[in-house]
Structures are given as C-alpha cells and as structure tokens.
Structure 1
Amino acid sequence: MTARYQVVADDLRRLIAAGEYAVGDRLPPETRLAARYQVSTPTLRDALDVLQAEGLIAKFQGRGNFVCRPAERITYPGGTEGLHVVVSVVERAASGELAAHLGESPGAPITEYVCLSHREDGPQVLAHVHVPHAVSGSRVLPAGISPWGDDILGGLMDVSADGSSEVNSYDQVTARFPTGAEAQSLRITARTPVLAIHRTVTAGGGRTVACAHVVLPGIWGEAAFSGDPRGIAAADGKGSAR
C-alpha cells in the first residue's frame, strides 16, 4: 500500500508539472495543504521533503516552500560545462580503509585534493582525490580544471613509480544517501539520494597509484559509460563498469 505522504507528493508533483504552481511560486501554507489532503502536518512535511530532495521545491525559513527551476543534469564523465572548480590541498596520513585501498601502510603520507564544483545556483559536485607521496614524490599535481579531478589523475602519467606512462582506471558507482559532511558541502538534505563514484587508478604494473571519490546529487547527476559491452559484463556483476 502506498504511504500517504507519497500520495501527497505525487499530486503536488503533478500540479507542478502541469504549471499550476510555476517556478518561483510559493506553495500554500503547510497547514492549508495538510487540510486539503486531510493529512497531519508531519505527513505533509514528509511529502514536501520528497519534493525538496528531488529539487522541485526549496524551503526558506520563515518564508515557506517555493517551486524551483529544474536543475541541469550533469553527466559523469563529461557534462562539466559551466562548472567552476575550487580545489583545496591537504597533506595527511593515510589510515584504515584508505591506506589498504592504496596499498600503503597506515600512517603513510598522502596528498588529498578536495574539489568542490559550483554553478550559479550552488555546489554541484564533490570530489576527493588521494595520491600517496610514494607515487607523487610529494609533488603537488596540477588541479582546478576538472570537477572529477581528472587533471590531477592525468599528472600521474609523469610521476608513476614504475616509470610507465600507461595509467588505467576502474569506476564503481553506488546509489546511497549522503553523509552529513557531503550533505553540508553540497547543500542538500540528508534524504537526497546521491551517486557515489569510486575510481581506482593503476599504473602500468598494476599498482594502485591513486583513488578518487566523486559524489553527485541524484536529482541532477547521472553516470554514463560506453565501450566494449564484453568489458562491462566482465566487471564484477555488481553495478561496476570499466
């Protein structure tokens, strides 16, 4: 049985699509909407949370709920037109799962690049790129062009430990809810689904030389891969692609 808040969300979504509530319009007060749909205020707010997570409305404290302009979709990889990338660089020690993933000992020094991409209406993409000092030789790689950190990863072609210019990557895509830090950085609610893309980069000898973690809000992000379908089928059967 469909939950009552979903029924309300479906009808409000229909009204927005039909133009009854246009972009920039304020929705009726929550008490009036709750009365219209004969639901409690908490149920009505659950419905509004769904629409907010979809990017259809925005809530402003003390002003109410307003219909938003649909956001342009961003396609990974690609789809970077109009994005402004701000990069911060942090030197830190690898620990736990990150160290194991990079094939480094816990505490090994790494460089972390945090890439936050914006459009006029706010942050759109969050990416973390991790490079061990054993690979980069402590050299800070170029940064600031690509929201995915591709310019950083491209610099590894010059500094890979085995001297090989061959660099390969493997992407794994997961749909989930954001962490608290991700929601804060991207200015989304904790109930907004995101696409989390984990990229592992290896040099010619198969050694892991970097990993990147990209987060796209699902309301305007999508992942699209092309290539030999036999390669996709041979990945791991769990939603990964090469």
Structure 2
Amino acid sequence: MTARHQVVADDLRRLIVAGEYAVGERLPPETRLAARYHVSTPTLRDALEVLRAEGLVAKFQGRGNFVCRPAVRLTYPVGTGTDALDVIVSAVERTATSELAAHLGGSPDDPITEYVCLSHRVDGPQALAHVHVPHAVSGGHALPTGSSAWGDDILDGLAVALAAGSSGVSSFDQVTARFPTGAEAQSLRITARTPVLAIHRTVMADDGRTVACVHVVLPGDRAEVAFTVGPVGATTADEKEATR
C-alpha cells in the first residue's frame, strides 16, 4: 500500500505540473492542506519534503511553501547540462586517510593532492567533486585544472603525466543514493534531507594500478546518471574463456 504522504505528494505534484499552482506561487498553509487531504500536519510535511527533494517546492521560514521552477538537470558522466557551469577548483596537499588509502592501494598517511571542484550556476552550487591523486603517481607535481565539473581535465593531465595517453587510463564508477554529509549539504546549499547521488570513481592505469579516485556528489533534484553499455547479453571473448 502506498504511504499516505506519498499519495498527498503525488496529487500536489499533479496540480503543480498542471499549472494549478504556478511557479513562484505560495501554496496554501500547511494546516489547510492537511485538512484538505484529511491527514495530520506531520504527514503533510513529509509530503512537502518529497516535493522539496524533487526541486518543485521550497520552504521559506515565516513565509510558507512556494512552487519552484525545476532545476536544469545535470547528466553524469556525459556532461549534459554542464555548459553553463562555472567551476572553481582548489588544490590541497594532505595525507591519505585509512579509507582513501584502501581505495588507492597505498598506506595511511601517504601524501596526496586533493583537488576540489565546486560547480555553480547563477542559482547556486550544482555539483561537488573531490579528485585524489597520490604523490607516488604524480610525483607531487600539480596537474592542470580547467572547467570540468567532474575533474576530467585533471585526469587527462594525469594520463599525460603517466605517459600512457588517455587510452591507457580506465575507470570504474559506483553510484549510491544517500543523504548528504553536513559538509556536502553546506557546500551545495541543500538541506540534510535532500537525497544526493554519490559517485565513487576508481581510476586505473593500463597496468592495473589505481592512480586516482574521485568522489562526485550531485543533488538528487537536479541530476541523473547515464551510462552507455554494450549489447544486452553480449559476452566478450575473454569472458567466454573465463567461464570455461
């Protein structure tokens, strides 16, 4: 059975999409909406929270809930929707935590360079990416930075530094839906209850070494992940050999 707050959210979404409530318009007071749907005020607030997470509603303290214009969606990793982004990149020299060391195949306290890419549009922050490169790979030299929201230009520079060329570097992406950490919510100016897409990207050289790892965080109300794969059911020669 569908939860009651989801039923309310579905109907309010329908009204917003149909234009019953226009962009910029204030919704009726929460107590009035709760009475209309015959639900408690906490249930009504849960429904509004669903719409806030989708970017359809924003709440302003002391003013109420207002209908928002849906944010332009970003598509990872192909970059759709990133043309209008301004990317601010900073670099920090630090040592690897135990977690980073495990991802990078090194030891805790190994020196690394962390590149932080914060992407903005006129209406605020859109994406946050952390690129971690061990000094053992880069030689401690700074890598070129540019306008990529995901740090791809840094990885391109890393491929050149490895003298492998871009074809000699591959990556594996793991995507998780979760709530943001406090630092992520502050950087992206979202609430702690706004779901995010967290992407952990492991970057490997052609000899199998892990040469970098990337953490990308995208607010769920303005992002999607799209991957291109081979034909469904296709099996490579190597996979066939492994199954014999």
State the TM-score, normalizing by the size of structure 2: 0.89
* 1:96-135 paired onto structure 2 within 5 Å: 96-135=98-137
Q: Tell me how far 1:180 sits from its aligned partner.
A: 2.4
- Cα distance between partner residues in 2 of 1:232 and 1:87: 40
Aligned residue pairs total 232
- Encode CA deviations 1:126-147: one digit per residue, 9 max, x unaligned: 1110000111111111123100
- Encode CA deviations 1:168-191: one digit per residue, 9 max, x unaligned: 222222222222222222222233
* 1:1-242 paired onto structure 2 within 5 Å: 1-77=1-77, 78-79=79-80, 80-160=82-162, 163-165=163-165, 166-229=168-231
Q: Percent identity?
A: 76
Q: Tell me how far 1:221 sits from its aligned partner.
A: 0.9
Task: Kindly provide the amino acid, as one letter, of the partner of residue 137 in structure 2.
Answer: V
- Cα distance between partner residues in 2 of 1:73 and 1:105: 38
- Encode CA deviations 1:78-135: one digit per residue, 9 max, x unaligned: 1221011011211111011211111111100101111111111111111110000111
Deviates more, 1:112-121 or 1:28-37: 28-37
Unaligned runs of 5+ in 1: 235-242
- Cα distance between partner residues in 2 of 1:101 and 1:18: 47
Q: 1:187 to 1:159 in 2, by over 3 A?
A: same
Unaligned runs of 5+ in 2: 237-244
> Are the aligned partners of 1:115 and 1:144 in contact in 2 as well (CA < 8 Å)?
no
- Cα distance between partner residues in 1 of 2:135 and 2:8: 53
Task: Kindly provide the amino acid, as one letter, of the partner of residue 31 in structure 1.
Answer: T
Q: 1:150 to 1:63 in 2, by over 3 A?
A: same
- Encode CA deviations 1:188-214: one digit per residue, 9 max, x unaligned: 223322222111111222111101011
- Cα distance between partner residues in 2 of 1:213 and 1:144: 17
Task: Kindly provide the amino acid, as one letter, of the partner of residue 92 in structure 2.
Answer: V
Q: 1:114 to 1:6 in 2, by over 3 A?
A: same
Q: Tell me how far 1:227 sits from its aligned partner.
A: 4.2
> Are the aligned partners of 2:98 and 2:107 in contact in 1 as well (CA < 8 Å)?
no
Q: Tell me how far 1:39 sits from its aligned partner.
A: 2.0
Task: Kindly provide the amino acid, as one letter, of the partner of residue 133 in structure 1.
Answer: H
- Cα distance between partner residues in 2 of 1:231 and 1:76: 24
Q: 1:180 to 1:169 in 2, by over 3 A?
A: same
Task: Kindly provide the amino acid, as one letter, of the partner of residue 55 in structure 2.
Answer: G
SS in 2 for 1:142: coil
Residue number in structure 2 paired with 1:240: none
Q: 1:2 to 1:24 in 2, by over 3 A?
A: same
- Cα distance between partner residues in 2 of 1:67 and 1:151: 37
State the TM-score, normalizing by the size of structure 1: 0.89
Q: Tell me how far 1:2 sits from its aligned partner.
A: 2.3
Q: Tell me how far 1:153 sits from its aligned partner.
A: 0.7
